[in-house]
Structure formats: C-alpha cells, structure tokens
Structure 1
Amino acid sequence: MTTEAVAGALAADEPTKSRGRGQLILRRFVRNRLALVGIAILVLLLLGAYVLPSILKWQYTDNDWNYLGTSPGQGGHLLGTNHSGQDMLAVTLRGLQKSLVIGLIGGPLTTFIAAVVGAAAGYFGGWIDRALMWGLELLLVIPGFLLLATISPKLAHVSWLIFVLLLAALGWMITARVVRSMTLTLKDREYVLAAKYMGVGSMKIIFRHILPNMASLLIVDAAVQIGLIVLGETSLSYFGFGIQAPDISLGTLIADGEPDAITSPWMFFVPAGFLVLIGLCSAFIGDGLRDAFDPSASGAKAKVKLPADGESDSQQVEIVSNTVRAEEGLAS
C-alpha cells in the first residue's frame, strides 16, 4: 500500500471515529445543567475579574479617606470599603485575578506532572519505577502544608509563579498512582506491543498511545485540581505563607477580613463567597466531565475503558501500524 493510500485511509477512518466520540461526549456534557452553570459562572468570574476594574470608579490601590470601613452602598462603593478606605469590589476583583490565574495554571500543571511521572513509572518499570514511587511515597508522608509553609517565606520576594510550581509539585501524587496502575495494564495491550516492535520510541508510545487512552481521567482531574489549587493557595495565604503584600489574593483578603467578620461582615464574606463559588464550579465541571466520558461511572471516579468503545485490539494494532508506516514513508 502506498503512503498516499495509508494517509487517505487514516484521514477517512480515525478522525471520523474521534469526531463521533467527541460529539457524543459533548452531548452528554451539555445535558448536565450543573456543569454548564459551573462553566458559565467561572467564565463570568474570569471576565469580571479582568474587565470590570477598567470601568470602575475606584481602583484597588485607591483610598477613599472619607469612607473608612463603610458598609455596602455608601459613598458609591457597591460592596463597601475596608479600614484603609479601599473599595471592596476593586480589591476583591484584584484578588480574584490572582487566585484564578494560580488555579488555571496550577491545576493542569499538577495533572501533567502526575501523568508523566505515573506513565513513566508504569511503562519503564524496574529501577525507574522504584525510584519514582519512592519519591512519591516520600512526598505523601511529608505534610505538604508544612513543607510549603517552610519554603514559601524564603521565596517571598520571588515571582508568584514559583509559588504555583510549589503547589503543583506537591499535589500530583495520588493521580500519579492511578496513572501508573492504568499504564501497567495499557502497556501490555496489543497495539502498544505492536508499536514497540515496530521501533516507535518509548516517549512517543507514552504520549501517543498510553496517555490518550486515559484522557477522561486526566481531563477530569485537571478540572478538579483547579479548585484544589485555589483552595491551597487561599489556605497558605490566609496563614501568611502564600501570596505576600503588596500583592493581593482571595486568601490575603479573607485573612484581613476575618477579625471583622462579625462587625464588618462584607470584608470577610465577599472574598469568601467568591472562593466558595470557584470551588463549587470546579466540582460541578469535574462531575460533568466524568459523567460525559463515562456515564456508567456516575457517582464514582472517572475511569478509562480499555480498549476504546467499538475498537478491538486488532483495530488498535492496525491503526498503530498504519500510522508508523505513513510516518516512515513521509520521512523518507
């Protein structure tokens, strides 16, 4: 068979199956109203955090000395002011910006680390598996909060991206265990063995034939991790170990408003309310994705089906073989 024929067969067969399965997953997800509500609220929060500050009268750095610690609605301050005269809506939107960015970067990064470590441990085995699992067990034993609380103050004047990396580096272990277990099963499938015998590189096998077969788990985990990373950042910032002044996050705002939660509740409950919304949206989206990828697992954690719906091992082997031949033909 010529290279053109192989490429034509792949273009007509494999993308069609992918589109059909993708459309089915999308239809299932759209039927989940809570998931759609979660996405809508999260998008509105993201847009509001970046669009509203440009049209507000007060910026988060401004101080209204005529209205110090006033309740919502007074002096043109929709959500009131804090004791420094800063508009609570402006400072909350600023904190929301930072917390959302940390979550949107840290969540997928945590899942990526888990996927790479878990797949490498399961696929290569031997001393690589033992070394990676030893490191994983060590991180599970060491309390992550205490470790972050110890390291974060030393990096107080470094970019907040380092803080995101620290959060991601201490949140991947449980998912990596699941990925490793699934990789141990997947690496013995016929289509993986066929790719290996045809000389396909190990990393290409992992990223092209193993990780895509657990996409449902990884996508759901990334969605859930966004909320967990935001909660982790908030907890550390609340105790003074996370985002440092003069920067602002939801955690620092909650910490500043907590002493006045009774006398001036808007200082505490406004940022706390946004935090709760982010957590709920993340959970709703994660549940919706889980049910969309695997409706039979409703009420349980997302799992992967081996092999994919409608594909036998022989079909997977044929697809891998055709792909390798097409790549070799094009390369030559």
Structure 2
Amino acid sequence: MRAVAGAVLLVVLVALVVAGPFVSPWGWDEIDFSAFREGPSAAHWLGTTRSGRDVFALTLRGARTSLVVGFAAAAISTGLAAVVGAFAGYAGGALDRGLMWGTDVLLILPPLLVVAVVRPGGGMAALAPSLAAFMWMVTARAVRAETLSLRGREYVLAARFVGVRAPRALVRHVLPQLASLLAVDASLNVGIAIVAESGLSYLGLGVRPPDVSLGVLIADGGGVGGAFPWPFGFAAVLLVVIVLAVNLVGDGLRDVFDPESR
C-alpha cells in the first residue's frame, strides 16, 4: 500500500514538473521588473524572488533538476553496484579481492566532502555521476554475497560446465535473481541522491547558476525566510514531499520483496 501511495504521489509530482512550465505565465529565467519580492498573486501564483523571478516557475525548474540528478545518480550507482558485486562474487580469486579492496577504500572516504572538494563542473551532467561514485559500495557488497550463494546453484554450475562465458551467465542466471535487491536499492538511492544534491547546492557546491535546484532556492531565500517565506518555503516543502514519495516507494518495494522486513 505504501508503494502505491508513494508511486501515485511521485507520478503527480513528475506530471506537475513536466506540465507546469506550459501553464505558468512566466518562464523560470524571466524577470518581472515591476515585482520584486512580491507575495503570491494572480500574476505570480507563488510570488517573486528578490530579483523579480517567478517562484512557481523557479520551484518547478528546481524540482526538475533535483529529480533528474536523483534518478540519474541512483541508476548509475545501482548499475555499478550490480556489475562490481556480481563479477566479484562470480569470478572469485584475485579479481574478487581486488574489487572488494577498491570498494573498501571508497567506503572510508567521506562522500559529500570529497564531492564538495572536487566541485565538478558541468552542472547535472557531472554532479549525478559524482554522487553515484560514492553510493554503490554497500550494495556491491550485498550483491557479491548473494552472487557467492547463487554461483553454487545447479543451473549456474551447469552453465559454467558447458562453457557459458561469465558475462552471459551473470545476465541470464544471476542478475535476474538479484532484481528485487537492486530495485529496492535504486528506489532508496533516489531520495539519498536528491538530499545530497540539495545539501551541496545549498552550500554553493552543487548545481550552479544560471540553473537552479531546490537546494539553490532554499539557500537563496533562507536568509530572509521570516519576512519573505515564499521564495524558500515552497521549495522546502516540495523537497520534503519528493523525498517522502520516493522513500514510500522504496519501503513498499522492500516489504513486497522481503515480507520479513515488515
């Protein structure tokens, strides 16, 4: 039930982000020189910022950026965890030890601090892979453990005996058995990536102008939130709702695939 509720809420949010710019009277990069820090009105549904930009259009643009970064980072990190963990568990030996050594080294590093120091350029195109590079290690270890168990099954042993190469055996016989683990991991990683991106952008280390994200909007309006709450308040609420929807989907999927976790 939680997965359905989260999925419905997430679909509504995505539909709003996609359709919103077509119904908004203002573009996210347009400036109204006659309205600076104006409250919500018929002309500006959620008010304007100190620079005269429409808050409704900016919030939708920020939500789009955060969602794209979140989904891209989750997809990359889950894919990387599946490849590294499956190959390590299936091959064993020196390859297993080498891959797990590299995984353990990355686990020691503080991820957000490293990304903040590196400060990748290129906006979303560079930020999503940078976040994903430090989100896959724990899942890779779980995938490796499951693969170690699966490679002793009769159908996997039979495939190896007849000479089926490792990549084909993994794709056909191992990874389908790990689909539930990877699906839950990907859904939960979306929320983690969105929060991480928002935190970095809030500090000025993530998405950079002229683009915006929810973290940028919260930082921009947070200093005067008491007197002018609309520039940052709507972005903060939308960020909470997005993360809540994604986590509901993740928790629901975990309950479906692993009833003992309830």
Length-normalised TM-score, structure 2: 0.96
Letter in 2 for 1:147: V
Does the 8 Å CA contact 2:197/2:206 hold for their aligned counterparts? yes
Alignment counterpart, residue 98 of structure 1, candidates 65, 75, 95: 65
Q: Verify: 1:224 aligned to 2:191, yes or no.
A: no
In the alignment, the residues of structure 2 paired with residue 253 and residue 89 of structure 1 have an alpha-carbon distance, to the nearest angstrom, of 11
Q: Verify: 1:57 aligned to 2:25, yes or no.
A: yes
Letter in 2 for 1:210: V
Letter in 2 for 1:64: D
In the alignment, the residues of structure 2 paired with residue 267 and residue 176 of structure 1 have an alpha-carbon distance, to the nearest angstrom, of 40
Which aligned runs of 4 or more in structure 1 are off by greater than 3 angstroms?
none
Instruction: Please list the CA deviations of residues 98-130 of structure 1 after superposition, one character each: whole Å capped at 9, or x if unmatched.
Output: 111111222122111111111111111111111
Q: Verify: 1:298 aligned to 2:261, yes or no.
A: yes
Does the 8 Å CA contact 1:260/1:267 hold for their aligned counterparts? no
Alignment counterpart, residue 242 of structure 1, candidates 184, 206, 213: 206
Instruction: Please list the CA deviations of residues 52-73 of structure 1 after superposition, one character each: whole Å capped at 9, or x if unmatched.
Output: 1122111111212222112223
SS of the residue 2:223 aligns to: helix
Aligned position for 2:77: 110
Aligned position for 2:96: 129
In the alignment, the residues of structure 2 paired with residue 193 and residue 210 of structure 1 have an alpha-carbon distance, to the nearest angstrom, of 11
Alignment counterpart, residue 109 of structure 2, candidates 119, 142, 163: 142
Q: Verify: 1:289 aligned to 2:256, yes or no.
A: no
Post-superposition offset of 1:294: 2.8
Aligned position for 2:150: 186
Aligned position for 1:325: none
Does the 8 Å CA contact 1:227/1:282 hold for their aligned counterparts? yes
Letter in 1 for 2:75: P
Post-superposition offset of 1:298: 3.3
Where in structure 2 are there 5+ consecutive unaligned residues? none
Post-superposition offset of 1:229: 1.0
Post-superposition offset of 1:42: 1.1
Instruction: Please list the CA deviations of residues 108-155 of structure 1 after superposition, one character each: whole Å capped at 9, or x if unmatched.
Output: 221111111111111111111111111111111111111101112xx3
Ranked by relative contact order (alpha carbons within 8 Å, sequence separation 6 or more), the top structure is: 2
In the alignment, the residues of structure 2 paired with residue 54 and residue 276 of structure 1 have an alpha-carbon distance, to the nearest angstrom, of 24
In the alignment, the residues of structure 2 paired with residue 107 and residue 144 of structure 1 have an alpha-carbon distance, to the nearest angstrom, of 15
Does the 8 Å CA contact 2:35/2:48 hold for their aligned counterparts? yes
In the alignment, the residues of structure 2 paired with residue 52 and residue 126 of structure 1 have an alpha-carbon distance, to the nearest angstrom, of 53
In the alignment, the residues of structure 1 paired with residue 99 and residue 199 of structure 2 have an alpha-carbon distance, to the nearest angstrom, of 28
In the alignment, the residues of structure 2 paired with residue 67 and residue 36 of structure 1 have an alpha-carbon distance, to the nearest angstrom, of 41
Q: Verify: 1:39 aligned to 2:7, yes or no.
A: yes
In the alignment, the residues of structure 2 paired with residue 68 and residue 235 of structure 1 have an alpha-carbon distance, to the nearest angstrom, of 27
When the two structures are aligned, how many residues end up with a matched partner?
262
Letter in 2 for 1:243: V
Letter in 1 for 2:47: G
Q: Verify: 1:210 aligned to 2:174, yes or no.
A: yes
Letter in 1 for 2:243: G
Letter in 2 for 1:248: V
Post-superposition offset of 1:82: 0.8
Does the 8 Å CA contact 1:109/1:168 hold for their aligned counterparts? yes
Q: CA RMSD in A?
A: 1.3
Length-normalised TM-score, structure 1: 0.76
Post-superposition offset of 1:160: 2.4
Aligned position for 1:71: 39
